[in-house]
Chains A and B, each alone.
Chain A
Amino acid sequence: MPNAISHDEALKAYHEMLLIRRFEERAAQLYGMGLIAGFCHLYIGQEAVVVGIQSTLKPQDTVITAYRDHGHMLACGMDPKGVMAELTGRSGGYSKGKGGSMHMFSREKNFFGGHGIVGAQVPIGTGLAFAHKYKEDRGVCVAYMGDGAANQGQVYESYNMASLWKLPVIYVIENNHYGMGTSVKRSSAGPNYYGRGQGWDIPGEEINGMDLLEVIKAAKRAVTHARSGKGPYILELDTYRYRGHSMSDPAKYRSKEEVEGVKENRDPIEHFKAYMLKTLKISEDQIKTIEDEVKFVVAEAVEFSKTSPEPEPSELYTDVLKEGENL
């Protein structure tokens, strides 16, 4: 039986997961040094989710998420330099320093943000799917949300329209078990988010989001479903964030043992690394090469984010409105 993932795909996925991990670790450092300010939500622990799902998409597909978005941008192939420089509020950032951690976009990579209002990205993603269908471009939209967003009313308004109109959208619920400091148990009556599309005939499944291969398999099912014109699909990924909700959250609402337990037993990167070594027979040297590459890329991003100049004062009043007509 062939392996679930090829060598090249595995190396690429490992590279991406590790890039997110190391990028976020350095972002935390820069935050501590005062180079990054405001809200900064780290993705550490959840890497397998976005890397697995993105690996199943095509270039015409669109992606949208909330504010824990650095990992999504990197997995979309956005330049780590531009992402880090946005975090430091510099002109070389994806939004010229005017968006910040929560607001970055890339038309080139079909990444549509980066949204700071919990749940607001879900109808927007549904609209992106509407546009795919309208333009008949065979694209699908992946709309990511957290377990916190999954209780917002507009999510269910979106489910309704997406199913009604058979829109090619995949709702990915990254269940990291805490909406800020409130656990799923305390926020959600009937916490099976994947089943909440039932009323609208939207299929859903729950997947171990710490296992890259499981994520990829499920994502392929979801993408095939959506792309074939059958309408929306819900994936609930059981995952975990190692850090607090944001950099200003000491995460006292959960025990150290709980966090350490996940890190030791379920870490998505270690788990996949073991698979690469054991099943794919990828050598330690090859893995080391990736680790060195990632280290270099992140160091480069950090350097760029420190040296890129702040935006010109004249940028204050640009980009409020688009000039002229588009047509």
Chain B
Amino acid sequence: MTLISMTVREALRDGMAEEMRRDETVFLMGEEVAEYNGAYKVSQGLLDEFGAKRVVDTPITEHAIAGLGVGTAFGGLRPIVEFMTFNFSMQAMDQIINSAAKTLYMSGGQMGCPIVFRGPNGAASRVGAQHSHCFASLYAHCPGLKVISPYSAGDAKSLLKAAIRDPNPIIFLENELLYGQHFDDVSQDPEHILPIGKALVRREGKDVTLTAFSLMVGKALQAADVLAEQGIEAEVIDLRTIRPLDVETIVQSVMKTNRIVSIEESWPFAGIGSEIAALMMEQAFDYLDSPLLRVTGADVPMPYAANLEHLALPQVETIVEAAKAACYRL
């Protein structure tokens, strides 16, 4: 399989375009997705190729956009609903959770809601508390949803394609800071999709497991480089899907390394790290030589000041420190 290099932004666009070519019921709606080509230019060129029927600019009304999207999914279409950022999905949460996620169950399996809610998630840069929210834990809490948060361009494309083809409601969490990054792992095969729910070991190591998703995978890989210089071989797991979580891959890694650090940019309380900690207690307790440590965002609303924002987010140094602590090497 030939892999080519492109940005995450382009890969996402190509993923959508391929699925829209393949299936006429797939369409994109959201604020600024059509004529503006996307607030972050993710939908660049889609209006030109597919026209206004299938690339739909909406008013700024997230609550009803989400509900309308759910209705189109009930009605036999496969909507992709873009949130300009996931921060605004808070306005739409009732429709996402009560209408999209629960209806299959409430209908005894009759309904189903094939819909993708996608957009940038988490902190970008200096945009303050209301525009820096990571929703991974919040949405992953809910049965009936699948939550995906890719790191590389290839994963972004192939997982987005999988999400569009999936018959369930999907939360697809992108990252603004990754949009412009190049990765040379993008498949050009329109039928190449990745399985949802499978993590990827991005770096093998024997001393400590680092779990991360989205932007934090990059930080974890950088931390692994630093750790290697200090004689610690870290294994970096890119979770890729938050729900369903690939617990098996994490357990397999912990059985080898006996130590684990979870990394996420969101808040610590009831976060993804908390969940992984509980799962390791349940499924890998006998293999742990030290307690799981969490590297998370600070437990505060995101500050604006540059120095405070830096302190509020996990940095390579904090990951390195946590990994060393897990290895009792401080």
Contact = CB atoms under 8 A, between A and B. Distances in A.
A and B physically associate? yes
B316 interface: no
Interface string B132-172: 00000000000110100000000000000000011110000
B103 interface: yes
A277 B71 CA distance: 42
B59 A320 contact: no
Given A94-B108, A113-B103, A326-B114, A127 B71 contact: yes
Contacts of B23: 327
B116 to A, nearest CB: 13
A127 B146 contact: no
A126 B71 contact: yes
Contacts of B106: 95, 98-99, 103, 105, 113-114
Which of A62, A94, A326 counts the most B-chain CB atoms under 10 A from its CB? A326
A326 B72 contact: no
B95 A326 contact: no
B98 to A, nearest CB: 5
Given A124-B99, A158-B64, A327-B23, A322 B104 contact: yes
Interface stretch (A9-17, A40-48, A51-59, A128-136): A128-136
Contact of B63 (A141, A153, A318): A153
B167 A325 contact: yes
B40 interface: no
Interface residues of B, number: 44
Given A120-B99, A320-B144, A326-B167, A126 B107 contact: no
A117 B96 CA distance: 12
Interface string B105-127: 11111111010000000000000
Interface stretch (B73-81, B181-189, B248-256, B275-283): B73-81
B166 A123 contact: no
A103 B98 CA distance: 11
Interface string A106-117: 110000111111
Given A120-B99, A123-B67, A127-B69, A161 B108 contact: no
Given A113-B103, A127-B69, A161-B59, 4 more contacts: A62-B75, A160-B61, A161-B61, A319-B104
